[in-house]
A and B are shown apart, each in its own frame.
Chain A
Amino acid sequence: MSFLKDLFEHDGNGWWKIPKTSEAEANPKSEHPFGDFIKRTKAFILWLTSGKGHAGPAYYWVIAIILGVITLVEVWWFEQDGLRYILVPAMLGFSMVKFILVVAFFMHLRFDHKLFSWIFVTCMIIGVFIFSLFILLSAFHGYGN
């Protein structure tokens, strides 16, 4: 609510402050169109991660809600006949976003030793290469006959 208050509150000097800034300072850090929004967002993320760089329960809930919402958007997209022509790239995109969210945050790869990331990403590249090879072979199957 504090953010909304800052965004819409009239401070009494005849001007709307959107959002309220600290221009009284010599070099106000928040003197830009977003005011304190970025600073507050950073503070919110730190609160979500317990301020320790490791995720806390609230953080995991936020990731889970994002995953749930993306799944609902996927199904909604699938139901729209007008969007069928870009169904494949859209589903690939949504799947990759969900994949990255789970690997980076639920599997802690974002916070863990880089060696694990190297192992997994290398194998992912090989996996995607095999996948792409199969698709290409399929696309050219029977070509020239």
Chain B
Amino acid sequence: MSSDNITVHHGEEINNSTGVSNKKLLMWAFLGSDVMFFGTFIGTFMAYRNKSLNGPYPADTLDIPITTVSTFVLLMSSLGIVLALHYLKESRMGLAKLWLFAVIIMGLIFMGFQVYEFAHFAHIGMTPQVNLFGTTFFTLTSLHGAHVSLGILWLIFLLYNEFNGNLTSDNAVDLEIAGLYWHFVDIVWILIFGLLYLITAGDGVPPGGIPWEGAH
């Protein structure tokens, strides 16, 4: 292959026929597969909506004010990571580190809310095996939580590299692909918050269902 075909974009050599970064191409392909993955789980949740014949039901469990706060935190973390990337590309390392640190903190706060929510649900008797709502809810939200947790670990690794001087504007694409991943977990949560929480939070006892009398 002629060296004339090789271009450099943010420190990454691009010498393929597509003319785009291999790392970004791989990340977009992964995100595409993850869209289908989450599409299936969200579809399953919606398909089983109002199909649980015993409680607890969504109206007994979901706490919208708390989830609104955690949603807002995750949305703002998306802002944080684009700013971290912007300042990294401009070699303003202080601001880049500050925003990346802020994103990690916001990610941890979001996970804290999820741990609190899961613990509260377990306390009142809503577990994955109790009914269809519990099964589909925990499967979807815990898979999302696993994605967020992985993202936090990835960002901690990148922050460590920023402090070591290994992550600079020359290889900003490494933070860019982590940012794509982070935004993706944000958009999945946008759908979960709209479809899973806000639409179903008012769902009570369906026809033929047994009213829930609380944890025994």
Cα–Cα, bound, A84→B51 (Å): 20
Interface of A is mostly: helix
Minimal Cβ-Cβ distance residue in A for B188:
A99
Q: Least Cβ distance of A75 to chain B in Å?
A: 5
Contact of A78 among B64, B86, B190 (CB under 8 A): B64
Contact of B36 among A78, A127, A135, A138 (CB under 8 A): A127
CB-CB under 8 A from B24, the residues of chain A are 112, 116
Q: Chain A 112-145 against B: per-residue CB contact (8 Å), 1 yes, 0 no?
A: 1101100110111011101111110110000000
User: Which of A1-9, A21-29, A40-48, A88-96 has 4 or more CB atoms under 8 Å from chain B?
Assistant: A88-96
Interface residues of B in 1-56 (CB under 8 A from A): 18-20, 24-25, 28-29, 31-33, 35-36, 38-40, 42-44, 46-49, 51
Kindly state whether residue A64 has any CB partner on chain B within 8 Å: yes
Kindly state whether residue A14 has any CB partner on chain B within 8 Å: no
Kindly state whether residue B140 has any CB partner on chain A within 8 Å: no
Minimal Cβ-Cβ distance residue in B for A91:
B194
Minimal Cβ-Cβ distance residue in B for A137:
B47
CB-CB under 8 A from B48, the residues of chain A are 138
Kindly state whether residue A53 has any CB partner on chain B within 8 Å: no
* A138 and B47 contacting across the interface, CB-CB below 8 Å: yes
CB-CB under 8 A from A99, the residues of chain B are 187, 190-191
Kindly state whether residue A34 has any CB partner on chain B within 8 Å: no
Q: A78-B198, A119-B29 are in contact. Are A60 and B75 (CB under 8 A)?
A: no
Cα–Cα, bound, A75→B63 (Å): 12
* B76 and A126 contacting across the interface, CB-CB below 8 Å: no
* B198 and A75 contacting across the interface, CB-CB below 8 Å: yes
Q: Chain A 68-88 against B: per-residue CB contact (8 Å), 1 yes, 0 no?
A: 100100110110000010011
The 8 A-B pairs at the shortest CB distance, nearest first, are namely: A127-B39, A123-B32, A134-B43, A95-B194, A138-B47, A64-B79, A131-B43, A134-B47
Q: Other CB < 8 Å A-B pairs besides A57-B86, A131-B39, 5 of them?
A: A60-B86, A71-B72, A78-B201, A102-B187, A119-B29
Could you tell me which B residues sit within 8 Å of A by CB distance?
Answer: 18-20, 24-25, 28-29, 31-33, 35-36, 38-40, 42-44, 46-49, 51, 64, 68, 71-72, 75-76, 78-79, 81-83, 86, 179-180, 183-184, 186-187, 190-191, 193-195, 198-199, 201-202
10 A-B residue contacts at CB 8 Å? A71-B68, A74-B194, A88-B199, A91-B198, A92-B194, A107-B184, A119-B25, A119-B32, A134-B46, A138-B48
